[in-house]
Structures are given as C-alpha cells and as structure tokens.
Structure 1
Amino acid sequence: MGMIMSLMGGGAMYSQMVSLVSTAVYDRFRASEIKNFDDFHVSILDIFNNFNSALPGKHFDAPPREEIEEAFKQWQEEPDSIKKKENFVEFLKRSVKLSKTDNATMITGVMTPPAAMAAKRYIENVPQLKLMKAFPDAVFVPTATVLGLFSVQISRKILMGKMVS
C-alpha cells in the first residue's frame, strides 16, 4: 500500500498529513508573540528543537540566519493571514533539511568497539597493567567508543576552525 502511494506521488493521504502538520506547526508558531526578528528567529529555532526532540532517529538542521531573515521580511510584509501561513509553510518545506553524519563519525562508531576489545585484551597481558582486568568490558568498550566519537568531533571543529581563519 505504501509503495502504491509513493508511486502516485503521495496521494491524497500524504497531502492531508502535510496540511495537518503544517497547520499545527503554524498555529504553535502564531501563538508565540512575534514583535521583531529575534522573536521570529527564536520561534523558528524552537520549532526545529521540537522536531528534533519529538522524532527519534532523524534530526533536522535549522536554516541559516540569512534565510530566516529573508523569510521574516516576507512574512512581515504580507498583510493577509492566509498568505502569511502559505509563505511560512513554503519556507519550512524549502529549508528543512535532514541532518547528515559524516563518514569519519560512522567509521569511528563502527570500528572503535572491536579495537577497544582488542586493546583491552592486549593490555591485560602486560604485567605492569594488570589493574586493567578490574574494569569490566561493559564499562570499558562504551567509554572508549564515546571518547573516540568525542575526539572525532573535536578534531573536526579544530580543523574547520583552522580552515575558516
């Protein structure tokens, strides 16, 4: 059934779902008091924060500040409330992008647990480091994995910072 709907371009059910969700999001957006750009920006970021906290697994990146400024100008200039809603919904459809993880993070997440187990087994055989046997595998492996993922994130931020400056 889902395959048929996707081949038909979503069908009536899909368009009704999009309409329902966009109406609910706009109603929540409109309920917040928007007096200037900062209020508009905070409301947009709040919407993305709610999406990311409510949907397990998938996360969405917020649009850049420049796009939000353009949307605010268009939204502010429109006197008609129906047109305001249509412009806002089109802005969300245009700017919502699925967050992607990079290859370094994926490879580190997959390769670190077996490497941590191998390293622990090797370290346990070194006479000076017999204390390592006291740490259970259930604590050591996740700790090593999290530290590996943190190191990838930090090194990426350092490299990106050097590339930007």
Structure 2
Amino acid sequence: MGQVLACIQDKLHGKEWRHQQLRKITDRVFDRVKTDAGREHLTFEELYIAVLFVYNDVNKHIPGPHIDPPPKEKVKTMMEVCDFNLDGVLDREEFYQFIKKLTADTLDIVSRNLIIALVLAPTVAILTKRATEGVPGVGKVVQKLPNSVYASLIALSVLLLENVAEAST
C-alpha cells in the first residue's frame, strides 16, 4: 500500500519528475549491461537484455498486473528508429529515447489501473454500501463495517477479479 501511495504522490510531481526517474532507470540499466560488455554502446542482444531488466524493475516496483516485455521483433524495429547516428548500436542518449518510447504505453496502462484501483473502486463501494441494507444477513454486517474498511475490501475484490480475468485470457 505504501508503494501505491508513493506512486500517487510522485505522479503529482509532473512530467519533469517522471523524466528524471526514467533517466535514473535507464542510466542504471545501461551501466549494468555496459559493464558486462565493456563498451559505451549496446548491440541488439545487449539492448534486449536491458529491456528485460527494465521490465523486471517495472513489474517489481509498480503495483498492478504483470507487464510482459515486447517481442524481439518490436525491439529490433524500435532500435532502428532510435539509432539516430545510424551506427547499428545505441549509446546512452539513444537508449534513453528508446526506453522512453518503449514504455510510453506501459505507463498509460499502469496509470489507468491505478485510477481504477484507488479512485473508482472505493467510490463505487461507498455508493453501493447503502444498497446492501436490504440484503438479508449481509446488510447488517456491511452497515457495521467502517466505510474505509468496506471500500478497501471492495477495491481488493476488484483487483482480484481483474487479475483472474487477465489470467484467463
């Protein structure tokens, strides 16, 4: 829950903060892969390993469903687009632009899931709490629960159902 609140607070910092965070991630991953290779650029194979590292970090540190990395064909195509000096490899700045383009849709998915989980689900829960009054057995229990507990239970249920739905597809 702390990661979720930190993520919401950080989103309020704006685009500049997100670019700084993305720069930190790309620099760390670039240095990690570059150190293994011993060069100041990444070949396609090293680039794909770097993409796997980035998506591993995204899945570890951002709440929500697991996000699969793109296939090698997409990475190859995007590498050609982001190779500004056309030397067949990506330097640090080209790698940053590559990851920025690659993760743009991923960040949209994560943002949408956070809005659903943290805003929409609790709001619907509070609005529907009153509707449970007439349900035998359940109504009295629901009415005794504090709004915050009830909203949390409904939000967790929505996330669970979302994960089950994604697993079945």
Higher relative contact order (CA 8 A, sep 6+): 2
Normalized against structure 2, the TM-score is what?
A: 0.47
Which of these two proteins has the greater Rg computed from alpha carbons?
Answer: 1
TM-score, with length taken from structure 1: 0.48
